[in-house]
Amino acid sequence: MKRFNVTLVGGGSTWTPGLLQSLCKLKDRFPMKKLVLFDIDEKRQRPIGEAAKILFKEQYEELEFHYTTKSEEAYKDVDFVFMQMRTGGLKMREKDEKVPLSMGLLGQETCGPGGFAYGLRSIKDMIKTINDIRKYSKKAWILNYTNPAAIVAEALRREFPEDKRVLNICDQPVNLLRSYGRLLEMDSKEFEPVYFGLNHFGWFTHLYDKEGTDLLPKIKKLVVEKGFQPADAEQRDKSWLYTYGVVKNMVEDFPDYLPNTYLQYYLYPKEKVQHLDPKYTRANEVMDGRETRIFEECEKIIEKGTAEGSSFVHNDAHSEFMIEVAESIAYNKQKMYIVIVENNGTISNIQDDAMVEVAAVMTSNGPRPLSVGKIPTFYKGLMEGQLAYEKLTVDAYYEKSYQKALQALTLNRTVVSAKEARKVLDALIEVNKDYWPEFK
Ligand code: NAD
Ligand code: G6P
Ligand code: MN
């Protein structure tokens, strides 16, 4: 069995320890020869890297492992690059959430003005990183989690039109599949989904079991009767439990399909703003929770000199999804996964150059998306508005255009008023001075 050289960009990410544990767990399915963690922040990389050394000595003896802050060391002779970085860190996520909320607008990591601000920060670093990777490893597969995936995917489509080995992915569809599995008391691995949309903006239209029976009607009924919770509810913070709970409202209002949780920010922007605390947002919850816990756990491992008995509370769906997509590419498994691809007719009444999220068969030559066909007017309308917002955001980046940025935010369903769009844009420009292009 061929073993692979893998580099993880954003080696200091709060999701990294969980991913490392899953790489150990799945080492027979996706065996690595070498793993390198790369991060620009030594203070984050070191503790995770040192804890990883101990973990691998115990659980992955044959693995060559090191961590670095030098790109040349990270990108030489690599087969797969996994990316999960955050330009500006969680401190800037906090601003993305709090600046809009302070004006009564939605502040969220990837949706609305917060996601817009984050997108304009991510693009430059993503382009630089991919250029760095390609200097040393022309053919490496680049699997990217870095958010906001919709904006990042659109920018990378424009920047690297010929590069077919960059794939943007999101764990939320898998989180949802596993949650349907919990609700039905079935293994979600048996499900065959039909899904369409943009990233964090999509719907399951069918969910077939092994016999080909559509489980969607049963799931919708159960969601309305019993409510909805994440597969890993016991490990989730309360804000996520609430978010999953709102799926019931969406199914009641629009019972055609099963919506991605993120649609609630667009369907109920006012109600969401009322429910969010502008003084303590999800970024605070993450910094006080997951971030604090994983660095404490690393220090414990380093102190004790063993990873035995330690476990990072982590989301298996997140780490296993990345590894399974890599496995399917590596060994041409042709398994089906929901990923982000250029539309090119997959959704027949949406423009070709949209980056859409759909089910695709994952081969060693990349994703082969499964045709969705025509989507109904309501969903098409929602998607086209959001798509225009995403494209204008990327236009604003490339053209350094204040006007395009204003158009983007005005089109976003979480904003609507052009006056409010201008107000939040001006405030975000101020806060993002060190990261954004200077608008004309
Ligand atoms: P985090 O801030 O804790 O970690 C990000 C790490 O990236 C930090 O250690 C930081 O130093 C590093 N970094 C920043 N700029 C970098 C650069 N240019 N090169 C290399 N490293 C760099 O954030 P997190 O909460 O752990 O999330 C990490 C990323 O994963 C975010 O973009 C998040 O949105 C994304 N994510 C995406 C999905 C998805 O569904 N696509 C799911 C989970 C997380
Ligand atoms: C889901 C989404 C990701 C997002 C993450 C935020 O997994 O698919 O795109 O980054 O949630 O989770 P957090 O715990 O950081 O709020
Ligand atoms: Mn996502």
What is the pLDDT of the chain when averaged over all its residues?
98
Residue 109 CB less than 6 A away from ligand 2: yes
pLDDT at 312 over 80: no
Q: How many domains does the chain contain in total? A: 1
Spell out the residues 6+ positions from residue 354 whose beta carbon is closer than 8 angstroms to its own. 198, 342, 343, 347, 387
- pLDDT, one tens digit per residue, over 153-208 is 999 999 999 999 999 999 999 999 999 999 999 999 999 999 999 999 999 999 99
Residue 404 lies in a domain: yes
Please determine, for residue 313, whether its predicted confidence score (pLDDT) is greater than 80: no
User: For tokens 């200097």, what's the residue?
Assistant: 135
**pLDDT tops 90 at residue 314:** no
Give the model's pLDDT for residue 321. 98
Q: What is the pLDDT, as a whole number, of residue 256?
A: 98
In the sheet where 166-168 sits, what is the strand order?
64-68, 32-38, 4-9, 80-83, 141-144, 166-168, 335-342, 355-363, 366-369
* The pLDDT value given to residue 311: 81
Q: Is there an atom of ligand 1 within 6 Å of 88 CB? A: no
Structure confidence at residue 95 (pLDDT): 99
User: Is the C-beta atom of 84 inside 6 A of ligand 1?
Assistant: yes
pLDDT of residue 310: 83
- CA 108/CA 435 separation, integer angstroms: 18
Domain that holds residue 382: 377-431
Asked whether residue 341 is domain-assigned, the answer is no
- Is 25 a domain residue? no
Residue whose CB lies within 8 A of the most ligand 2 atoms, among 110, 111, 198, 287, for a mutation test = 110
Which residue owns the Cα nearest ligand 1 atom 9?
A: 12
Residue 372 counted as domain residue: no
Q: Which ligand is nearest to the CA of 84?
A: 1
Q: Is 282 in the pocket of ligand 2 (CB under 6 A)?
A: yes
Tell me the C-alpha distance between 143 and 81, whole Å: 6
What pairs with residue 357 in β-bridges?
A: 340
Q: Are strands 64-68 and 80-83 parallel, antiparallel or unpaired?
A: unpaired
Beta pairing, strands 4-9 & 141-144: unpaired
Q: What ligand is nearest to the CA atom of residue 89?
A: 1
What confidence score (pLDDT) does residue 382 get? 99
Q: Is 148 in the pocket of ligand 1 (CB under 6 A)?
A: no
For residue 56, is it within any domain? no
pLDDT score of 316: 92
Q: Which of 195, 262, 337, 389 is catalytic?
A: 262
- Best substitution site from 94, 109, 178, 337 to test ligand 2's pocket, by max atoms within 8 Å of Cβ? 109
- Reply yes or no on whether 77 is catalytic: no
pLDDT digits (tens, 9 = 90+) for 67-110: 999 999 999 999 999 999 999 999 999 999 999 999 999 999 99
- The angle that helices 316-330 and 16-25 make with each other, rounded to 10 degrees, is 50
User: Which member of 171, 266, 268, 395 is catalytic?
Assistant: 171
Q: Which burial class, exposed, middle or buried, applies to 377 when counting CB atoms under 10 A from its CB (0-12, 13-18, 19+)?
A: exposed
Residue 24 within any structural domain of the chain: no
pLDDT for position 160: 98
Nearest CA-CA partner of 9 in 76, 105, 86, 79: 86
Q: Is the pLDDT of residue 125 over 80?
A: yes
Ligand 3 centroid–CA 28 distance in Å is 27
262: annotated active-site residue: yes
Residue 399 pLDDT > 90:
yes
User: pLDDT digit string (tens) for 222-275?
Assistant: 999 999 999 999 999 999 999 999 999 999 999 999 999 999 999 999 999 999
Ligand 1 centroid, distance to 251 Cα (angstroms): 31
Where residue 315 falls among pLDDT bands split at 50, 70, 90?
A: confident
Is 221 part of any domain?
no
Decide if 204 is inside a domain: no
The best mutation among 94, 146, 172 to test binding of ligand 2, ranked by most ligand atoms within 8 Å of the C-beta, falls on: 172
Question: Averaged over 33-57, what is the pLDDT?
Answer: 98
CA of 304 to the centre of ligand 3 (A): 35
Atom of ligand 2 nearest to the CA of 14: 15
Q: Which atom of ligand 2 is nearest to the CA of 171?
A: 8
Q: How far apart are CA 146 and CA 223, in angstroms?
A: 30
Q: What is the mean pLDDT of residues 396-421?
A: 98
* Residue-wise pLDDT tens digits, 198-233: 999 999 999 999 999 999 999 999 999 999 999 999
Q: Which ligand is nearest to the CA of 131?
A: 1
Are 201 and 112 in contact by the 8 Å Cβ rule? The answer is no
Query: d(Cα 418, Cα 408) in Å, to the nearest integer?
Result: 10
For residue 247 and ligand 1, the question of a CB distance below 6 A is answered with: no
- Provide CB contacts within 8 A for 199, sequence distance 6+: 110, 148, 149, 150, 153, 168, 170, 340, 355, 357
